[in-house]
Structure 1
Amino acid sequence: MDRPEISLSLAPELHVFVPAKRRSGFGPVRTDGVSTLGHVVESIGVPLTEVGRLVVDGREVQTGHIPAAGEAVTVHGVVRPQPLPGPARFLLDIHLGTLVRRLRLLGIDAGYENPDIGDAALAARSAAEQRVMLSRDRGLLRRRELWAGAYIYSHRPAEQLRDVLSRFAPPLAPWTRCTACNGLLRDAEKTAVQERIEHGTEHSYDAFAQCEDCGQVYWRGAHHARLDEIVAGALREFGGPQGQHAA
């Protein structure tokens, strides 16, 4: 018995997930008559985390729709900013270490696992803590237990940061989180942190902050200008309250 055929078209931003020769259009796609539309879309390489509206013959359907022969399917990308059912909290895999530090620099709650704990454990943590899983691993993003997920499209940290900020529009509160552990920072007296700072730093700086969780101490070091540039760029493009300036 012949398998049903449907026609399928993808939003331009989803073309990255399919072979170049098919990006101009899929034309007929054979289905087995029982698999859901969500399964069909995943089978061609597109993670459902990146899928917005699904339109079949002009009407919107859910991922559980069973495609019938002759149907014309249009797969849209996610809307930006993408609404979340809870606070914008993230979890990043081991390959996104620079991105996690930049998110924390902006005061965004960003969890991170290093060393790699495996896809199953990452997905379980995403679900338990209601965090959006950020990854370039399509297999990880296909795990059903994820609370939510998002594919990181670029290899470049600056582009990765812009992608997350434009997609989820999280509130920004720069200089309020520890870039090492994600804990919250508090102002600290020089005398209270003197044993934890580099020799000579106490003579050069007066403003300090300390992580409430790991005790890491921050001050305006030589690297501060580079971090200030990242913060200023994010605030200029995406907005948010200006926080404390310890780094």
Structure 2
Amino acid sequence: MNGPEIHIAFAPELGLFVPHGRRGPATKVVTDGSSTLGHVVESLGVPLTEVGTLVVDGRAAAPSHVPAAGESIEVRPVERPQQVPGAPLRFLLDVHLGTLARRLRLLGVDAAYESTDIGDPALAARSAAEQRVMLSRDRGLLRRRELWAGAFVYSTRPEEQLRDVLHRFAPVLRPWTRCTACNGQLRDATKEEVSDQLEHGTRRSYDVFARCGACGRAYWKGAHHEQLEAIVERALTEFPGRTRGLSSGRRHDPGDRS
């Protein structure tokens, strides 16, 4: 490019996306004179889903702003907790985030998940159609304009991924109320209603059950309950005051049906 020169500085929180040579103090960038500030920021590696306020010569500016020669630009990270206007908070996760999806569902968070790779255009279209926040580690996907909203998942470790999403978006937590298999709502069920899914030992040993209203899957407090209980208790301890409508009686184990 051979156009206006600007100076741009990225917040340290965005360092993961920025080449080493552009981290720290403001660096010089030559623009083409017609591209928007949002395009310039993304061309330097930072998805706009991770950008909060854009400050141009001390004043907030929109991503549609076209930089002029000599402007000093500060790129700040998204403020937390992040507000997503216009729809109930719900998520869509790509094929690589299955464990995170199941843990969000365990906490009662609406988390749709694609278990197969349907491609970026289809994911972005679903995000827009269902007004879901797209969670992904795919920067290209997060740059798609048709997304309703999106967020980069910074860690590869499920426990850190969960903590980051809960910290960033502050969703209401309703543990033990969603099917971890399909995201449907759980309801209490009698042993007779789910008997066709029970082995003899389970039928003899357990009396409290739930069933998914969408896929019909049965749940009970199974062998892995303590492990799942630890995930739930850790989230409730780290993020107090987030629960709503939690029933102490609904303690079925969404991770173990055997």
Unpaired runs of 5+ residues, structure 2, are 254-258
Cα separation, 2, equivalents of 1:155 and 1:198: 36
SS in 2 for 1:8: strand
* Corresponding residue number in structure 2 for 1:71: 71
The alignment status of 1:20 with 2:9, answered yes or no, reads: no
- 1:53 paired residue number: 53
Matched, 1:116 2:117: yes
2-structure distance, mates of 1:139, 1:90: 18
Q: Give 1:167's aligned residue.
A: 168
Q: CA deviation at 1:2?
A: 4.7
Aligned residue number for residue 89 of structure 1 = 90
**TM-score of the superposed pair, with normalisation by structure 2:** 0.93
Contact in 1 for aligned 2:2/2:31 (Cα 8 Å): no
Q: Which residue number corresponds to residue 198 of structure 2?
A: 197
Take 1:135 and 1:119, find their aligned partners in 2: how far apart are those partners? 11
- Return the offset for 1:188: 0.7
User: In 2, distance between residues paired with 1:214 and 1:90?
Assistant: 19
Aligned partners of 1:220, 1:198: CA distance in 2, in Å? 14
Q: Deviations over 1:88-144 (max 9, x none)?
A: 110000000000000000001110112111100000000000000000000000111
Q: How big is the shift at 1:238?
A: 1.4
Alpha-carbon distance in 1 for matches of 2:29, 2:37: 11
When normalised by structure 1's length, the TM-score is 0.97
**CA contact 2:2–2:30 (8 Å) conserved in 1:** no
> What residue is the counterpart of 2:132 in the other structure?
131
CA 1:177–1:4 in 2, change beyond 3 Å: closer, same or farther? same
Q: Which residue of 2 aligns with 1:237?
A: 238
Residue 192 of structure 1: how far off its partner (Å):
1.4
Name the amino acid aligned to 2:168: R
Q: In the TM superposition, what are the counterparts of 1:135-214 in structure 2 within 5 Å?
A: 135-214=136-215
2-structure distance, mates of 1:176, 1:94: 23
Following superposition, the deviation at residue 198 of structure 1 comes to 2.7
Deviates more, 1:26-35 or 1:237-246: 237-246
Tell me the distance in 1 between the aligned counterparts of 2:237 and 2:72.
Answer: 42
Give 1:24 shift: 2.3
Change (3 A) 1:43 1:246: same
Q: Shift of the alpha carbon at 1:26? A: 4.7
Aligned equivalent of 1:217: 218
In structure 2, the partner of 1:40 is 40
Count of residues paired in the alignment: 247
The 2-side partners of 1:27 and 1:115 are apart by 41
After TM superposition, give the deviation of residue 39 of structure 1 in Å: 0.3
Distance 2:64 2:96 in 1: 32
Aligned equivalents of 1:2 and 1:38: distance in 2?
18
Q: State the distance in 1 between where 2:79 and 2:198 align.
A: 45
Q: CA deviation at 1:237?
A: 1.5
Amino acid across the alignment from 2:191: K
Deviation at 1:19, TM superposition (A): 2.1
Q: Which of the pair is proportionally richer in helix?
A: 1
| Aligned residue number for residue 246 of structure 1 | 252
Secondary structure at the counterpart of residue 143 of structure 1: coil
1:10, CA displacement in angstroms?
0.7
Letter in 1 for 2:96: H
Q: CA deviation at 1:22?
A: 2.7
* 3-state secondary structure, aligned to 2:92: strand
Amino acid at match of 1:210: R
Distance 2:191 2:222 in 1: 15
Which whole-Å deviations, capped at 9, do the CAs of 1:47-100 have from their partners, x for residues lacking one? 000000000110110001111111110000001011111211100000000000
CA 1:191/1:2 → structure 2, altered by over 3 Å: closer, same or farther?
closer
Q: Is the 8 A contact 2:209 2:218 kept in 1?
A: yes
5+ long unaligned stretches in structure 1 = none
**DSSP 3-state at the match of 1:227:** helix
Q: Partners in 2 of 1:180 and 1:26 — Cα distance?
A: 47
SS of residue matched to 2:96: helix
